Amino acid sequence: MRLTRRSFLQVSGMAGMSAVLPQKGSHAPAPRTRTQLIASSLTQFVDPLPIPRILQPNGLRPSPSDSSSKIPYYRISMRECEAQVHRDLKPTRFWGYGGSVPGPTIEARSGQGILVEWANDLPGKHFLPIDHSIHGAEADKPEVRTVVHLHGGRVPPESDGYPEKWFVPGQSATCHYPNRQDAAMLWYHDHALGINRLNVFAGLLGAYFVRDEFEDSLQLPRGNYEISLLMFDRIFDLASQLNYPVSPDPQKVWTPEVFGDAILINGKLFPYLDVEPRKYRFRLLNGSNARFLHLSLGDGHRFLQIGTDQGLLPAPLEHDRIFLAPGERVDLVVDFAELNGKALLLNNDMLPVLQFRVGKNASKDPGVLPQTLRPVSKIVESSAIKTRTLSLVEVDDLKQRPVTMLLNNAHWSMPVTENPVLDSTEIWELVNTTDDSHPIHLHLVRFQILDRRNFDIGAYWSTGQVKYRAPAMPASAAELGWKDTVRADPGMVTRIIVKFEGYTGRYVWHCHILEHEDNEMMRPFDVLPAS
């Protein structure tokens, strides 16, 4: 095994915002088999878009941070379930939180903590192919292991869902989510070491909203006019069952990325949504294992972006398309007012995935969207006390197939190298030496994107030095809010600035392409107490 540099695919224009961005570099998608369902052959828009139910608490329990007060307690059981993803398909087996995919939506208020007991009530055998050569998934480990992470949550380390803190069927873990953070769309999903990609593919994900008074005061569309759209791609076989591809190499099971041709929205394929001719707020998540979404509305219809991963933007931005990497969320407002009686499509890569059917009568529209939303104060570079240069690397074998993805040439089990001090600010420079775009996510924190800058990969491999080839490009307007996941584009140094607020203890940072994350593209980091 040796380190190699594979053919570098130039990505032109505004990194990633271009519609011609290749879906992937040189990793050929697994060949389509004759037993695979061709999603585009299905009749479109015959099923209404399901709206995940809002979870109700199971009671009150003493707060772990202040036992004199009681906070809402929820219990969510992970179960095998069946769901029909399309009118003309048979029920599909899934693993879902609360027995549904996506799981139920959790609604929380900023500053008001909750407790969630996550119970593993899954069967003892996995129904997707485990690769026992992957770290953490060895044959002596139980097949079915789960641990839940609240993505985007500022959560104490013992409740963060550390990948090694998995538990098996019959066990549960109770997590404390203090919600001391701004209003935002978070999401919860499985994070078990070595099989995370399989557990999420099986259906273990759901939405979690933090609300606050500031957001309430903006009078954004809410209730029936605020809709979450949890999007994730899957592959189905001809029996309507999930088909997670294995490597064409008989020695291996792991595949570098999994792309499905079936894009589910809230668990349905090609759903439709009846809307009134007025403004709606849409909360989008890309919950795919590896697929980047390039979303637009039909007929070039424009829309407003009002938020990023970690909450509201300073002001609405108008777009005609949006780019969403795995793990990212976006907050949009679409105005259907001019579309009385018409239909509008939501497209991914120009292919329809959802149809809006605009009715003729609107209930009273609650006025206009505010011109300004939530101020985002820029973290100045000079406040950083440390800059870390961190490389993103692929390790290939002699057949030029990637076998592992690494952060900073380090494996998961190696000693911690990233150890910021609580409340300090750091700049992380993500040096992407691969030909893939990697969505890099840090637990615990929110951050801002500084810029991306093209560098000479060849020179980097021979000298270990970063030699820039072009001036830095600022983050795109769509990314200029608080983020927790950032696209590190190929051949670019992507710089983020992070204040490590919240808690001391052990967390993780990783690529959110779940196949990469499972195969070593994840590292622990420690937040150290200030001395």
Contacts of 303 (CB under 8 A, 6+ apart): 297, 318, 319, 320, 332, 333, 334, 335
Contact 242, 202 (CB under 8 A): yes
Q: What is the DSSP track for 448-514?
A: EEEEEEEB-HHHHHHHS---B-S--EEPPGGG-S-BSEEEE-TTEEEEEEEE--S--EEEEEEESSH
Pairing type for strands 47-48 and 59-63 reads unpaired
Nearer to ligand C2O, 373 or 521 (CB): 521
Instruction: Tell me the closest approach of the beta carbon of residue 254 to Cu ion, in angstroms.
Output: 13
Sheet holding 262-265, edge to edge: 268-269, 262-265, 226-234, 279-286, 329-335, 303-308, 311-319
Stretch that binds ligand C2O, among 246-254, 317-325, 461-469, 506-514 (CB under 6 A): 506-514
Q: Are 195 and 126 in contact (CB under 8 A)?
A: yes
User: Is residue 262 near Cu ion by the rule CB under 5 A?
Assistant: no
| Interaction between residue 151 and ligand C2O (CB under 6 A) | yes
Residue 374 is a binding residue for ligand C2O (CB under 6 A): no
Q: Is the dihedral of CA 300, 302, 303, 305 positive or negative?
A: positive
Binds ligand C2O by CB under 6 A, chosen from 441, 453, 495, 516: 441
Cβ proximity to Cu ion: between 333 and 488 the closer is 488
User: Exactly one of 86, 189, 279, 446 binds ligand C2O (CB under 6 A); which one?
Assistant: 189
Q: Which of 243, 285, 282 is nearest to 262 (CA)?
A: 243
Considering only residues 88-117, where is the footprint of ligand C2O by CB under 6 A? none
Nearest to 316 by CA among 290, 296, 335: 335
Helix (H) or strand (E) holding 215: helix 213-217
Q: Between 497 and 526, how does the x/- string for binding to Cu ion read (CB under 5 A)? A: --------------x-x--x----------
Q: Which of residues 116-155 bind Cu ion (CB under 5 A)?
A: 151
Task: Decide: is 487 part of the binding site for ligand C2O (CB under 6 A).
Answer: no
Q: Which of ligand C2O, Cu ion, none lies near 191, with the C-beta cut-off 5 to 8 A by kind?
A: ligand C2O
Check binding of 443 to ligand C2O (CB under 6 A). yes
Q: Would you count residue 327 as binding ligand C2O (CB under 6 A)?
A: yes
Give bridge partners of residue 348 from the DSSP assignment. Answer: 295, 351
Considering the complex, what minimum distance in angstroms separates the CB of residue 234 from ligand C2O?
A: 18
Return d(Cα 80, Cα 98) in angstroms, integer. 9
| Nearest to Cu ion of 443, 499 (CB atom) | 443
Dist CA 226 CA 82 (whole Å): 27
Nearer to Cu ion, 85 or 513 (CB): 513
| Phi, psi (degrees; rounded to nearest 5) at 195 | -135, 15
Q: How far is the CB of 118 from ligand C2O (least distance, A)?
A: 15
Binding test (CB under 6 A) with ligand C2O, winner from 234, 510, 516, 523: 510
Within 360-419, the residues that bind Cu ion by CB under 5 A are: none
Q: Which residues contact 17 (CB under 8 A, 6 or more apart)?
A: 321, 323, 476, 478
210 binds Cu ion (CB under 5 A): no
Residue closer to ligand C2O by CB (options 281, 441) is 441
Q: How far apart are CA 15 and CA 456, in angstroms?
A: 16
**How many amino acids of this chain bind ligand C2O (CB under 6 A)?**
10
When CB distances are held under 5 to 8 angstroms depending on the partner's kind, the choice from Cu ion, ligand C2O, none that residue 279 binds is none
Least distance from C-beta 201 to ligand C2O, angstroms?
A: 14
Amino acid at residue number 495: R
CB of 332 to Cu ion, least distance (A): 22
Token digits for 188?
């919860």
Query: Minimum distance between the CB of residue 307 and ligand C2O, rounded to whole angstroms?
Result: 17
One residue of 6, 27, 86, 149 binding ligand C2O per CB under 6 A:
149
Give me the residues that bind ligand C2O (CB under 6 A), please: 149, 151, 189, 191, 327, 441, 443, 508, 510, 512
